[in-house]
Amino acid sequence: MLTRRTPISVAEAQARMQAVPLKTATEVVPIEEANHRILAADVKASYAYPHFRRAGMDGYAIRAADDHDFPKAFKVLGEIQAGATWEQPLASGEAVRIMTGAYVPDDAAKVIRIEKTRAVDGDPHRVKIITGESKTNITETGTDVKQGETILARNQEINPGGLAVLRAFGIKKVTVYQQPRIAIIATGTELLNSTDPIAPGKIYNSNGIMLKNLVEETGGVVDFTTQLPDDAATIERVLKQQMANHEIVITDGGVSVGDFDYIGDSARQADQLLFNKIKQRPGSVTTAFVQDNTLVMALSGNPGACFTGFYLYMEPLIRRYQHQKTRLQHVRAILAAPYNKTNGFDRYLRCRYEIKDGHYLVYPNGINRSGSLANLQTTTCLALIPHSTTPMQVGTETDAWLLPFK
Stretch that binds ligand LQZAQKY5, among 119-127, 202-210, 234-242, 388-396 (CB under 6 A): 202-210
Q: How far is the CB of 371 from ligand LQZAQKY5 (least distance, A)?
A: 5
Helix (H, G, I), strand (E, B) or coil at 165: helix
First to last CA, the chain: 38
Considering the complex, state which of residue 50 and residue 258 has its C-beta at the smaller distance from ligand LQZAQKY5: 258
Q: Is 173 helix (H, G, I), strand (E, B) or coil?
A: strand
**What is the CA angle 238-243-246, rounded to 5?**
125
3-state secondary structure of 401: strand
DSSP 193-262: PTTSPP-TT-EE-HHHHHHHHHHHHHT-EEEEEEEE-S-HHHHHHHHHHHHHH-SEEEEES--SSSTT-H
CB-nearer residue toward ligand MOO: 307 or 363: 307
x/- mask, ligand LQZAQKY5, residues 343-382, rule CB under 6 A, reads ---------------------------xx-----------
Nearest to 280 by CA among 9, 64, 33: 9
CB of 301 to ligand LQZAQKY5, least distance (A): 3
Binding residues with ligand LQZAQKY5: total (CB under 6 A): 28
Give yes or no for residue 319 binding ligand MOO (CB under 6 A).
no
Nearer of residues 77 and 298 to ligand LQZAQKY5, judged by Cβ: 298
Q: Is 32 left (phi over 0), alpha (psi -120 to 50) or beta?
A: alpha
# chain residues binding ligand MOO, by CB under 6 A: 9
Tell me which residue has its CB nearest to ligand LQZAQKY5. 301
Amino acid at 366: G
Q: Which residue among 105, 180, 301, 309 contacts ligand LQZAQKY5 (CB under 6 A)? A: 301
By CB under 6 A, tell whether 368 contacts ligand MOO.
Answer: no
**DSSP string over 34-99:** -TTPBBSS-EE-SS-BSSS-EESSSEEEE-GGG-SS-SEEEEEEEEE-TT----S---TTEEEEE-
Q: Which stretch binds ligand LQZAQKY5 (CB under 6 A): 56-64, 100-108, 168-176, 255-263?
A: 255-263
254 binds ligand LQZAQKY5 (CB under 6 A): yes
Position 300 contacts ligand MOO (CB under 6 A): yes
C-alpha span between 83 and 101 (Å, rounded): 8
Alpha carbon 256 to its chain centroid, in Å, reads 33
370 interacts with ligand MOO by CB under 6 A = yes
Give the start-end residues of each E strand in 300-345. 329-335
Q: Is 290 in the site for ligand LQZAQKY5 (CB under 6 A)?
A: no
Minimum gap (Å) between residue 373 Cβ and ligand LQZAQKY5: 7
Q: How far apart are CA 219 and CA 235, in angstroms?
A: 27
Cis peptide before 71 (omega within 30 of 0): yes
**DSSP sequence for 347-397:** EEEEEEEEEETTEEEEEE-S---TT--TTTTT--EEEEE--BSSPBPTT-E
Residue among 1, 82, 257, 394 that touches ligand LQZAQKY5 (CB under 6 A): 257
CB of 286 to ligand MOO, least distance (A): 7
Say if CB 152 and CB 176 are below 8 A apart.
Answer: no
- Indicate which of ligand MOO, ligand LQZAQKY5, none lies near residue 220 (CB less than 5 to 8 Å, by partner kind): none
User: Is 283 one of the binding residues for ligand MOO (CB under 6 A)?
Assistant: yes
Q: Which is nearer to ligand LQZAQKY5, 190 or 231 (CB)?
A: 190
Q: Does 288 bind ligand MOO (CB under 6 A)?
A: no
Instruction: Give residues in contact with ligand LQZAQKY5 (CB under 6 A).
Output: 186, 188, 190-191, 203, 205-208, 252-258, 261, 282-285, 300-303, 305, 370-371
